[in-house]
Amino acid sequence: MIQLQAGALVCEIEPRLGGCVAGLWLGGVPVLRSTPAAQLASARQAGCYPLVPFSNRIAQATLLWQGTQHPLVRNNGPEPHAIHGVGWQRPWEVLESDESYALLAYEHPADSAWPFAFDSSQTVRLRGGALEFTLSLTNQSRQAAPAGLGWHPYFVKRTRSHISFQASGRWEMGEDKLPTQRHAAQGLDADCAFLDIDHCFDGWTGVVHLRDELLHTRVTSSLSRLVVFTNETRDIVAIEPVSHVNNAMNQVQAGADPASLGLAILQPGESLSAQMSIAVEQVK
C-alpha cells in the first residue's frame, strides 16, 4: 500500500489490486468511495481504478478484429461481456514514489484476456487541492491493435449530491448493457438522489461538477467521452472519463468509423495517453 498526502488531502493506493486508488479523503471526509487499502479484496471495491486497454464492455466477451475472432475472458462474475480491460485485475509495479507522488507500471503479455501485448504506466499525484492522474499505453504487439483508456472513479453520493456537465450526444443502452443508438444530448444537470442512469456521453467538454452539502468536486480530463452510472439504490455516482464509446471495437468491425467512436488503432510501438484531475474543496 502507498499513502500520499498533500495538506488535507490523503490518498491510498493498492498497486497489487489493479493499481487502484483505495480511497481519497479531504480532512477525513471521503471524496471517493473509500476503504483502507488493507481491507480491499478487489479493485471493484475501490474508489478508482484505471481502464486499460479498453473501457466498459466488449459484447459477449468476443473481440472481432481484422477478420479474426478473439474469445476473451468473462471477467465480472456472471456478466456475459468482457468489462473494463485487464489492468484493473492485474498487479502493478511501483517504479517511483514519495509523499505525494507515485509512478506505477503494468506490462501485459498477450493472453486469453487480451490478445495484444502492451505496456502501460500510471502516475498519481496530490497537488494544489487535487488528485492528478496520467495513464499511457504502448502497443508492444507486432500488429495494429485497438486501444482505449479511462478511469472508473466512484464518488460518494450524499443527500444533496448534484451533477452537471456539458456534452453533445448520449448513447442509449439496451437491456444487455450495450449501446444501441446515439441521440443528441446537452449533458446533464440533475440531483443524484433519484437519478437512474448508465450511459456514455460524447462531445463532453472535459469538466464535471459534483456538489453536495460537504464538498464541491471538479473532475477534468483530456478525454471527450464520459460514462455516468448511478441509481436510487446506490450510494455512489460513477463518473468515468473514457476515450471511446462502449463496445467501440466491435462496432468498428461492424462498419462504424473508429474516429467517430474515439477508438485508437495503434501501430506497433505507438502510444496513447490521457489525463484526469479530481479537484475538491469544502463547501463554505
pLDDT tens digits for range 40-79: 999 999 999 999 999 999 999 999 998 899 999 999 999 9
Reported residue count of the chain is 284
Q: What cell numbers appear for 212 in the block?
A: 453536495
For the segment 264-281, the average pLDDT, to the nearest whole number, is: 98
pLDDT tens-place string over residues 143-168: 999 999 999 999 999 999 999 999 99
Main-chain dihedrals φ then ψ at residue 78, nearest 5 degrees: -80, -5
- pLDDT over 70 percentage in the chain: 100
pLDDT at position 42? 93
**Farthest-apart Cα atoms in the chain, separation:** 57
pTM exceeding 0.85: yes
Dihedral (CA of 137, 138, 142, 148) sign: positive
Q: Reply yes or no on whether the pLDDT at 81 is more than 90.
A: yes
Predicted local confidence at residue 70, as pLDDT: 96
Write the DSSP assignment of 64-90 as a string of letters.
EETTEEEE----STT-SSEESBSGGGS
- For residues 137-146, give the mean pLDDT: 97
The CA-CA-CA angle for residues 161, 167, 172, to 5°, reads 85
pLDDT tens for 89-128 read 999 999 999 999 999 999 999 999 999 999 999 999 999 9
Q: Which pLDDT does position 284 carry in this prediction?
A: 79
Q: Which three cell numbers stand for residue 107?
A: 506490462
pLDDT over 90 at 253, yes or no: no
Average pLDDT rounded to a whole number, residues 232-253: 96
What structural domains and CATH numbers belong to the chain? 2-282 (2.70.98.10)
Could you give the CA distance from residue 226 to residue 202 in angstroms, rounded to a whole number? 7
Residue 282 and residue 214 in contact, taking contact as beta carbons nearer than 8 Å: yes
CA torsion angle 90 272 246 204 (round to 10):
130
For β-strands 57-58 and 197-202, DSSP reports them as unpaired
Q: Average of pLDDT values for 243-260? A: 94
